[in-house]
């Protein structure tokens, strides 16, 4: 997105102006009757992107009975976007907002005076838990009583996005892996020397594990999003947990001809957590790091004492571009193609919603890229 003048981003209408706009729209009987009959989630915003009117479906979407609680607020603020309070003046003013489809749809319709449609993925913090929205945003200019407003319509396309991810995993990723397994079995059927057969059996076992891993990853992600994971807390050793994950990932295709090491200064301790979820988090972090690592490159993993928390981290030498850094934890964002983008999203979902930890990353020329998860001890 092209950088907008700071005044455009931060300027807000006063409470009196918002109330006047609301009364003006309410007085337009024909418009309010048509607007009220719309089945979609819709609101009217002013030039400062603040809500001045909304239909009943919008209020139901937010779980409120009247518009008063959201009058004057911006879209990201009413759905508790995690970036809505990061910028200097709320929604639309943080660095991450440059890549928000909702903000861009509104700006484009303001600039062109035409209807604009964009898709966006928004992460919200609702009652202390992470929630992801995949939305189609439509911004349509309208003139009412000589004043400019915009009809903002929101369509929840989360199901379509989930279906696309499922199709990508099962119809592309798993097909590729299964094809490789089929090729190995064909070679064995044709008959070779006993030693060669043993190597092929070992390789076939590794590939079949990759298939199971892909299925279990998506199954666990769906359960996490639906709040259907039961936490099983048990005593875990920090170093041993990393070592077991490295053993698993080394046989995966993404780990071939690459090296994963445990940092020598890693913090060795025991603490209570869900072993399975921690393993899933570390597998995803290591997969991402290995995919960004060149042939014979090194990925480093370790733990660090953070007082009341223990930090698990994974480092590779690459540096993520700025636009990737701004979107890396979004559910549907990926540098690997359409329908991907579940790895880092699932890390944040599992770590923060279920293990009550925090996730984040550092990416610069000096340190490379380090993803980390801080878990309570």
Tens-level pLDDT at each residue, the chain (377 residues): 444 444 445 689 999 999 999 999 999 999 999 998 887 899 999 999 999 999 999 999 999 999 999 999 999 999 999 998 887 788 988 888 988 999 999 999 999 999 999 999 888 888 888 888 889 999 999 999 999 999 999 998 887 777 766 666 566 666 766 777 777 677 776 666 666 677 777 777 777 777 777 777 777 777 777 778 889 999 999 999 999 999 888 777 787 889 999 999 999 999 999 998 999 899 889 988 998 898 889 999 999 999 999 999 999 999 999 888 888 887 765 555 443 445 788 898 899 989 999 999 999 999 999 999 999 98
Distances (CA, A) of 77 to 50, 70, 71, 126, 133: 10, 9, 11, 12, 14
What distance in Å separates the CA atoms of residue 290 and residue 249, rounded to the nearest whole number? 9
Please report, to the nearest 10 degrees, the dihedral formed by the alpha carbons of residues 200, 205, 207, 208 taken in order: 140
**Closest by CA position to 361, among listed 352, 342, 348:** 348
Domain limits, the chain: 6-156, 159-227, 229-377
Q: Which alpha helices (DSSP H) does 4-63 contain, by range? A: 6-10, 15-26, 29-36, 56-62
Report the run of H or E that residue 3 belongs to, with start and end.
none
Residues whose CB falls within 8 Å of the CB of residue 250, separated by 6 or more in sequence, listed in order: 260
Q: Please determine, looking at this structure, whether the domain spanning 229-377 carries the CATH number 3.30.565.10.
A: yes
316's tokens: 């590779």
Residue that the structure tokens 């299925």 belong to: 215
Residue that the structure tokens 């209570």 belong to: 272
Is residue 373 classed as helix, strand or coil in its secondary structure?
strand
Distances (CA, A) of 167 to 135, 172, 227, 257, 339: 19, 7, 22, 29, 8
Domains 6-156 and 229-377 share a fold: no
Of 3.10.20.740, 3.50.50.60, 3.60.70.12, 3.30.450.20, the CATH number of 6-156 is 3.30.450.20
318's tokens: 């690459």
- β-partners of residue 235 are 272
Question: What per-residue confidence (pLDDT) applies to 9?
Answer: 57
**Closest by CA position to 369, among listed 299, 270, 283:** 299
What distance in Å separates the CA atoms of residue 135 and residue 153, rounded to the nearest whole number? 10
What distance in Å separates the CA atoms of residue 266 and residue 243, rounded to the nearest whole number? 12
């Amino acid at each position: 997105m092209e950088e907008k003048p700071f005044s455009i981003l931060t300027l807000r209408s006063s409470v009196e102006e918002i109330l006047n706009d609301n009364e003006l729209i309410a007085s337009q009987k024909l418009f309010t009757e048509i607007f009220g009959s719309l089945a979609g989630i819709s609101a009217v915003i002013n030039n400062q992107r603040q809500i001045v009117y909304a239909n009943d479906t919008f209020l139901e979407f937010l779980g409120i009975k009247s518009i008063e609680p959201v009058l004057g607020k911006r879209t990201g603020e009413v759905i508790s976007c995690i970036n809505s309070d990061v910028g200097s003046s709320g929604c639309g003013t943080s660095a991450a907002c440059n890549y928000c489809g909702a903000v861009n749809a509104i700006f484009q319709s303001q600039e062109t005076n035409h209807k604009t449609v964009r898709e966006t993925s928004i992460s919200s913090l609702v009652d202390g838990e992470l929630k992801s929205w995949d939305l189609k945003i439509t911004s349509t200019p309208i003139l009412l009583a000589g004043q400019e407003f915009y009809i903002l319509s929101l369509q929840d396309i989360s199901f379509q996005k989930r279906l696309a991810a499922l199709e990508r995993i099962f119809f592309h990723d798993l097909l590729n892996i299964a094809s490789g397994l089929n090729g190995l079995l064909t070679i064995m059927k044709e008959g070779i020397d006993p030693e060669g057969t043993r190597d092929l059996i070992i390789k076939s076992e590794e590939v079949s594990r990759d298939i199971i891993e892909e299925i279990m990853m998506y199954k666990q992600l769906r359960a996490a999003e639906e709040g259907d994971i039961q936490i099983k807390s048990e005593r875990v050793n920090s170093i041993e947990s990393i070592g077991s994950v490295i053993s698993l990932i080394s046989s995966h295709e993404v780990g071939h001809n690459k090296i994963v090491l445990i940092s020598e200064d890693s913090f060795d301790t025991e603490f209570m957590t869900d072993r399975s979820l921690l393993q899933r988090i570390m597998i995803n972090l290591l997969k991402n790091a290995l995919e960004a690592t060149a042939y014979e490159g090194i990925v480093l993993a370790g733990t660090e004492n953070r007082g009341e928390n223990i930090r698990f981290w994974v480092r590779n030498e690459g540096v993520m571009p700025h636009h990737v850094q701004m979107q890396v934890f979004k559910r549907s964002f990926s540098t690997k193609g359409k329908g991907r983008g579940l790895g880092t999203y699932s890390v944040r979902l599992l770590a923060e919603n279920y293990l009550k930890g925090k996730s984040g990353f550092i990416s610069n020329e000096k340190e490379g890229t380090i993803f980390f998860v801080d878990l309570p001890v």
